[in-house]
Every structure is written in C-alpha cells, then in structure tokens.
Amino acid sequence: MSEKPGASVPGRLARLIVASAATAWAAAASAATDAERIDALEKQVSQLEARSPARQDEGLPLHGFMDVNAGYRNNGGPRGFALGNLDFYLTPRIGDRIKGLIELNFEINESGGLDTDLERMQIGYVFGDAATVWAGRFHSPWGYWNTAYHHGQQIQTTVTRPKFLEFEDRGGIIPAHTVGLWGTGAIPAGAGKLTYDLFTGNSQRIDLDGGTPGSGTLNPNTASATNHRALLGFNLGYLFPGALDGLKVGVHGYTATIDDDAAPSNSTRVRFAGGYLVYLESDWEVLAEYYDFDNLDLSGDSGTHRSKAGYLQVGKTFGRWTPYARGEKASLDQTDAYFAQQENGGSYDRAVAGLRFDLDPRAALKLEANHTRFTDRVVSAYSEVRLQWAIRF
Amino acid sequence: MGRIRAVRPTRQISRSHPPIFRPARRFLSALLLGTALWNAVCAAGVLDVGGEWLDDGGRAVSLSDWQGRYTVLTMSTGACRKICSTTLRRMEELQAIADRRGLGVDFLVIGLDPRSDTPKAWREYRAQRKLGRENWHFVSGGEERTRRVAGMLGISYWFYDEHLLHDFRIVLIAPDGTIRRTLAWADDRPEVLFSGLK
C-alpha cells in the first residue's frame, strides 16, 4: 500500500478514497466479515470527517466582472475588438456592524492604455435594515441605474449605459461618483417599502484637456474638495407590494458647486431633480429616468440655465433570450458652462436595440445597435453595432 | 446505505481465482466500497442538513421531512428578478410534466437570503405568482445552513451590493435523500429530470 499513488493524486477526495480503501484493505486482510469491513469503513470516513480542521478564517472572497467587446461605427470611429473592464469586488466584514466595499477596476482607454480606478472604496456601519452609513468613495445614489448596475457589465441587460449616465471617464455628464458620506436604508411603509438615500461630499470639478474649452471631463475630486464646496443629494423610492411587486418609483435631487480649471474658472451651481420608474417582474424590464437641470452661473452673469435628459428602456426575457430597446434624449443648454465645458456635454438623442443571450447565469453575450444624433454643438450622427461577452466570477 | 450492499463482493467468485489475484481483488473491491461509501456520505447530505427551517406558513420544518419521496429542489430568493424567474418557470414546467405523467413529486424551494426570504415574504411571493399547490414548499433557514445546502448543490452565490448573484440549479432528490438528477441552465429539456421515474 505504501507505494500506492495517494501522494501523487491531487485532491482531498482522492486521498480520502485511498484512505478508505486502506482501511478496507486492512480489514479484509484480517479476514473480517463483510459487515465488519463496512463498519470499519464507516468509522474511518466518520473519523476523516471529524478530523477536518475547524472552520477558520478562509480569507476574503474575491468576485468580479470582465468583458470583451467588438464593434463597428460608421463615422470612422472605433472599430474592431476591445477589452472592456476587469472589475474586482471585495466586501470585507468586521463583525456584524462594520463592513467594507472595494471595487477596483482595470479598463482600456480609447488610446489603448490601461487605466486603473478605485471605483468604490467605502466603509460602512450597519444600524439595521433601516440605516447604513457609508464613508468613502461610492456611486452617487441619484436615479436608479447608477446604483443598480455599477460596473458589472454582466448584470446590466444592455451593452451600454444611457450615454448621459456614463461614468465620468467614459463621457458621463453627471457625477457618477461621490467622495463623502452616504446614509441609506429601507423602512416598511404600508405593505411596501420606502427606500432612502442621503449623501454629501466633495463637489466635483471639470478638468479641461490642456485648458481647451469644451474638452472637459468630470473629476470626482477624490483627494479633496478643490473649491471647498460640498454637494448634497437625496433619493426617495417606494417599492410596491402585492400585485405591483417589482415596481419601484422614486424622486431624487442633487446640488453642488462645480468649477472647471479654465482661466478664469467657470463656477456653476449645478442643481437637478427628477424621478424614475422601474418595473422588474414577469420577465419584463422597464426602466425610465428623468433629470431636470436648473444650473446657476456663479462666475458670470448668464443667470440660470434649464436642461433635461432622460431615457426609457424596455426588455422582455424569453428563456435565455432578452430583446430590448432604449430611447435616450438630452437637451443641454450650451450657454451653460457646466455642459459647454464638458467634451460630451452636447445635446443628443439615441435609439438603441439589442439582443442578449445568457449562456449561463454568469455569462452573457449581447449584440446591440444604436443610432446617435447630436443636435446642437456639432450637428452629426453615427450608427454603431457592438458585441459584448460579459461574465461574472 | 443500500448502495453498499449492491457492491458487496462475493466469496464464491473469489475462490475461482488463483491466490495471486486475491490481494488485488480485495484491494479493488475495498476501493469500490470506499468510493461508494464516500459518495453516499457526500450525496446523501442535502436533506441531512439539520437545524430548524421555517416554511412559508411560519412552521418549523426539517429538510429530512422530505426523505422518502421524490422532491424537486432548488434555491432561490424572492427579490431576484432574473435567474429566479427562469428557475420558477422551469419548476412550473416540471410540475406540468409531473402532472402529465402522474408522478407524485414535491417541489421544495430553499431561500438563498434568509434576511429577505421570510415566511411572510414567501407567502406573498406564492400568492402573487399563484403557486398555491400543496406539494410546493418554500423554506428558509439560517445563513450557515443555507450555505451548506448551497455548497452541496454546487450553487455559489454572493452579494453585489443589493443584488444576490447566484447560479441556477434544479435537482431531483430521490427518496433516500441522494441527488438523482440535476437540471442545469443550458438543459432545454426539463423532462430529463424525471427520466426513469414511474
């Protein structure tokens, strides 16, 4: 028996089987009856189970998402294959009350370089279902999409987010990340549930590319509030019970003072309010969000500027297939420095249609086409087809 | 332990072999015995996970209550709108197949998220989806027990913020508590779960 391959066969199961066999062999060699041999085997297996070490700290589970993409745009834009995100997600816990959340994302930028982003880094204290307080960098809890799908491409039905809700480094025009404090919870209300979010933090800023007007991207101001101003926001939602289970409606609002790095700097009091409606039931997915901006020019005398943006997305699952469609529209005042200084701050409308196929609960293939029309800053349009293979692990 | 009897070696056959083969034969039979025993210990475990579980009526039940009958078992959570929707549809298809074939089968759904899959939540879930049949049972237990069952069924799950991300798996538990068949995500013919059942 000593030369039997127990040591060379990997895996606990193999070792256990060999160990069991060894006992059986010994039992057989001692001319025991079959019943005695079986008894011996049972005892041996029980002992092996009992010898398993007590459950100890097994480390921190590492989960995440990744996606690869291919696309074709007809206006000379990006074509071919591209890596998407490699997103690592960790949730350390310290006892029942204190928890952490880390989302570290690696993504390829438009020039092919590798960008690393600590997308989220939060430490939270759980008071109960009714209240958790987070501190750190988190996804701004306005609307629905931004805190429903985060960076996990596999869990969102579509390839793309609504264009105006993209992350800052992907051309989003609303600060997707906040560095500060966030209180959130759910309270029973009637037969349903009232959800709330209250958040404050550093007002974001706009970084211009070499000072070029209209080239800016939003910066969450992770190191400090560069203009010493705080933002404030809220989100109130209601989850319906009974026959309307799966329906959530809500309102949200946000205000911040956002400066750019032009000389002299433009400063805007950004204020938006809006609402959303979500229905996820009976294989239907209906998402709608609306944002109404009322921005005030603080550094000049152009006064207030009204803008609006919204989308409606509808999908229906048939087995492993989910066809979907989305319409988006953003009418953004180009005399408002907040939008005018952002590279993607122009008005647009977009129609999206796509088909998702779930190879596995953890892997999806998505084919999506969109037609995007820019309607003010530069009047133009393009069509695009995208293919995405996204997994979670 | 019925499996062990099935592989019990017979002495009559052993006497017909030359003595030189006896050690090898004994070793092989012992190896088979060990494997069968270990498999039995592993596979029989799902309904052996002890402790108190609550059904959707708020009654304390034990998973071993489902010993002695065929049971279609899955794990799900009421708040899940994607995978669980597919799971439920498959379970309903399986019920229809069982009805057509006259099979007496129980359907057992174990909640993945004990915090939200309370008896009340399951009651509402059943009422809304018209899952009132008496052979359907929705139960929830403690977190540790839930993880044990999920591990035995090969269902991994984790929370991505408020989303409970989990695998799809429906199994048929035999009367002796062992897993008889498994239905995976890509299996388009749910009837295979009942193959060989009469």
CB–CB of B33/B5 below 8 Å? no
A63 touches B: beta carbon within 8 Å: yes
Give me the residues of A, 170-189, that contact B with CB < 8 A. Answer: none
Predicted confidence at residue B29, as pLDDT, reads 73
User: Could you check whether the bond before residue A92 is cis, i.e. omega within 30 degrees of 0?
Assistant: no
Report the pLDDT averaged over residues A211-223: 95
Q: Alpha helices of A144-196 — where are they, by DSSP H?
A: 145-148
Distance CA A322, CA A355 (A): 6
- Summarised one tens digit per residue, pLDDT across range B36-64 is 555 555 545 788 888 889 999 999 999 99
Q: Please report how the helices A34-51 and B22-43 are oriented relative to each other, as an axis angle in degrees rounded to 10.
A: 50
Distance CA A38, CA B14 (A): 18
Residue in B closest to A87 by C-alpha: B160
pLDDT band (50, 70, 90) for residue B2: very low
pLDDT band (50, 70, 90) for residue A76: confident
Distance from the Cα of A110 to chain B's closest Cα (Å) equals 28
Q: Do residue B128 and residue A152 have CB atoms under 8 angstroms apart?
A: no
State residue A43 phi and psi, 5-degree precision: -65, -40
Q: In what order do the strands lie in the sheet with B53-55?
A: B60-61, B53-55, B136-140, B106-111, B71-76, B170-173, B179-183
Predicted confidence at residue B113, as pLDDT, reads 94
Partner residues linked to A160 by β-bridges:
none
State residue A322 phi and psi, 5-degree precision: -135, 100
Tell the burial category of A109 from Cβ atoms under 10 Å away from its Cβ (0-12, 13-18, 19+). Answer: exposed
Mutation for B interface: A15, A23, A45, most B CBs within 10 A: A45
Distance CA B146, CA B152 (A): 10
Q: Do residue A20 and residue B34 have CB atoms under 8 angstroms apart?
A: yes
Task: Answer whether residue A8 shows pLDDT above 60.
Answer: no
Task: Answer whether residue A391 shows pLDDT above 90.
Answer: yes
What's the one-letter identity of residue B83?
A: I
Minimum mean pLDDT range among A14-28, A165-179, A217-231, B140-154: A14-28
Q: Do residue A16 and residue B83 have CB atoms under 8 angstroms apart?
A: no
- Summarised one tens digit per residue, pLDDT across range B161-195 is 988 999 999 999 999 999 999 999 988 899 999 99
ipTM confidence score = 0.75
- Report the length, in residues, of chain A: 393
**Higher pLDDT residue, B29 or A173?**
A173
Enter the pTM of the model.
0.81
What's the one-letter identity of residue A350?
A: R
- Report the length, in residues, of chain B: 198
Q: Do residue B37 and residue A243 have CB atoms under 8 angstroms apart?
A: no
What ranges make up the beta strands (E) of chain A? Answer: 63-73, 79-90, 93-94, 98-108, 114-128, 131-139, 177-189, 192-202, 205-207, 217-219, 230-239, 247-260, 267-281, 284-297, 304-316, 321-331, 348-360, 363-374, 380-392
Minimum mean pLDDT range among A64-73, A300-309, B112-121: B112-121
Greatest mean pLDDT range, A49-53, A67-71, A282-286, B62-66? A67-71
Task: Answer whether residue A230 shows pLDDT above 50.
Answer: yes
Residues of B in contact with A358 (CB under 8 A): 185
Predicted confidence at residue A13, as pLDDT, reads 46
Q: Please report how the helices A34-51 and A12-29 are oriented relative to each other, as an axis angle in degrees rounded to 10.
A: 150
Contacts of B170 (CB under 8 A, 6+ apart): B72, B73, B74, B87, B90, B91, B94, B182, B183, B190, B193
Predicted confidence at residue A57, as pLDDT, reads 66
Q: Do residue B8 and residue A29 have CB atoms under 8 angstroms apart?
A: no
pLDDT band (50, 70, 90) for residue A389: very high
Predicted confidence at residue A78, as pLDDT, reads 87
Name the one residue in this structure whose structure tokens are 């309607």: A375
pLDDT band (50, 70, 90) for residue A101: very high
Structure tokens given for A378: 């530069």
Task: Answer whether residue B126 shows pLDDT above 70.
Answer: yes
Task: Answer whether residue B13 shows pLDDT above 80.
Answer: no
Q: Do residue B26 and residue A29 have CB atoms under 8 angstroms apart?
A: yes
- Summarised one tens digit per residue, pLDDT across range A352-381 is 999 999 999 999 999 999 999 999 998 999
Minimum mean pLDDT range among A118-132, A306-320, B72-86: B72-86
